[in-house]
Amino acid sequence: MSGHVDPDRAQFEAFKSLDRDQPIEMLNLLKFNDLAAYPEGHDLAGAGLSGAEAYRRYGAETAPIIARLGASILWRGAFQTVLIGPEGEAWDEMFIARYPSAHAFLEMVTDPDYKQAVIHRQAAAETSRLIRCAPAEGRRTFG
């Protein structure tokens, strides 16, 4: 369960090909490195930060950007166990972020301050999942 930290080109193109004018919700699942893996030469390389500490830096530095764009966290949970899914899969951070549009998300990831902050996410994550969802009408039953 490792290696998925940034989107590949095909994934990013698929994301951009979808409707950009509607709100989107992003399911975030993260598994942290024990020690943050900053690139050689970065000020925090060798500082001994945990992956969780690096991710908190990412959150602190991106908070003003997210607020400016009108995004918010809809739900946050603490992992307990997998009932259906690969054995041994566990997540350190789980949440759903809501963006007013895909345009807002794209504005975030191209913001110069975000580009500086994302290094903390990259250093923090052993692996992750970022799944774009469209808000849907609630149902009271499955199916």
How far apart, in whole angstroms, are the C-alpha atoms of residue 122 and residue 36? 9
pLDDT at 139: 78
Name the region of 118 (left: φ>0; alpha: ψ -120 to 50; beta: rest). alpha
85-98: pLDDT as tens digits:
998 889 999 999 99
Q: Which CATH architecture has domain 21-133?
A: 2-Layer Sandwich (3.30)
Percentage of the chain modeled with pLDDT above 90: 84
Distances (CA, A) of 115 to 85, 87, 118: 33, 34, 5
Per-domain residue ranges of the chain:
21-133
Nearest by Cα to 55 from 41, 80, 76, 34? 34
pTM of the prediction? 0.91
- Give Dmax (Cα) for the chain: 53
pLDDT at 1: 55
> Which residues of the chain fall below pLDDT 70?
1-2
76-85: pLDDT as tens digits:
999 999 999 9
Nearest by Cα to 47 from 124, 118, 111? 124
